[in-house]
Amino acid sequence: MIFEGKRILVTGGTGSMGKTFVHRVLSGEQGTPSKVIVFSRDEGKQHDMRAWYLHRAAMTDEVIFRNFMSVLEFRIGDVRDYDNVCTAVRDADIVVNAAALKQVPTCEYFPEQAVLTNCIGAHNITRAIQQHGYPVESVIAISTDKACKPVNVMGMTKSIQERIFIAANVLSPQTRFICVRYGNVLASRGSVIPLFLDQIKHGGPVTITVPEMTRFLLSLNQAVDTVFAALAGARRGETYVPNAPSATIMNVARALIGQRPIETRVIGIRPGEKLHEIMVSEEEANHAVRRGNYYAILPMLPELRDEAPNEPNALAKEFSSADNVLDAAGTVDLLHRNQLLPEDVTVSSAEELLR
């Protein structure tokens, strides 16, 4: 029961993954926490989240004034601000860093902003713990497959974030710093699926970059499962990666369209995009081991590698979204299980989607 009696800080806790994580933590499935702190800079999203949890029956201001008396606590702050981070981190046993700029085009146009949130924000957390000796037990960074051999600013800054947290283990040995890395989260902010659904709603066309482009796909709950698994089993400096399925963008689009007469239009690959994503690089495959349904990428720093047990490599090559691509039926089944398809699309009708 990894959260029993713990104080948990979630930076960026009003995002898609943050909200699902908080909901499941508060369910008690991994123990009953003493405090869950949602730390973010958007007061509107915090208000909506507070209302959903604490006073759906009666909207009153009383809940706001009891903010610090509740298990679920909201704090306005910014990971870019060191003082804000210090104030939040000092009260936590576990820190989940979900704060990020993760829209690829936004990061391409404003790379300095991506650095401030994704890199400096991460450094503020490690710096606070190192300088003040806060008794934080574990810090986990939420990363992305785009951090693996990155070709865009979002991936580059997330890759640096991973290295910042991994290296922090050396100078702050009392705290365990670990990472998770996963692919596209179905229907989350930034996923292609909400775009497709909006295009379908307005009669199309549905825009496809490249029909054979593949992406790893997993649900929000599977993303949270990965975080839980890493917190339960990862050693210092390790990065957990789920063994997730992948699908072609064309099959995803056709499945969402179903039998409706909506056009698909190929627009070409966009700046900063890969044809296939990589979850574990060829270099990392040399020190990736199996942990249940996950791969654990062992840290490269010798100070941390010496702590690792002698485990066999689990991969002989890079782990790419092109490796095990779902067919049409598999794609439909995956989207069905996540309640993202219109009722007229069934697994048995999947072959028709390819005509």
Degrees to nearest 5, angle at CA 309 with 303 and 310: 110
HSE at residue 80, side-chain half, CA atoms within 13 A, is 10
According to DSSP, the β-strands at 319-320 and 278-280 are antiparallel
Residue 316 main-chain phi, psi, to 5 deg:
-100, -10
- Active site includes 146? yes
Helix (H, G, I), strand (E, B) or coil at 167: helix
Nearest to 221, CA basis, from 13, 22, 28: 22
Q: 340: which 2 tokens?
A: 């993202």
Query: What is the C-alpha to C-alpha distance for residues 55 and 39, in angstroms, rounded to an integer?
Result: 20
Nearest to 215, CA basis, from 293, 324, 341, 142: 324
Nearest to 239, CA basis, from 285, 270, 173: 285
Query: What is the C-alpha to C-alpha distance for residues 39 and 76, in angstroms, rounded to an integer?
Result: 6
Nearest to 262, CA basis, from 252, 270, 271, 253: 253
- CB 245, CB 183: distance < 8 Å: no
Q: Active site residue: 45, 146, 158, 274, which one? A: 146
- Which residues are identified as catalytic? 146
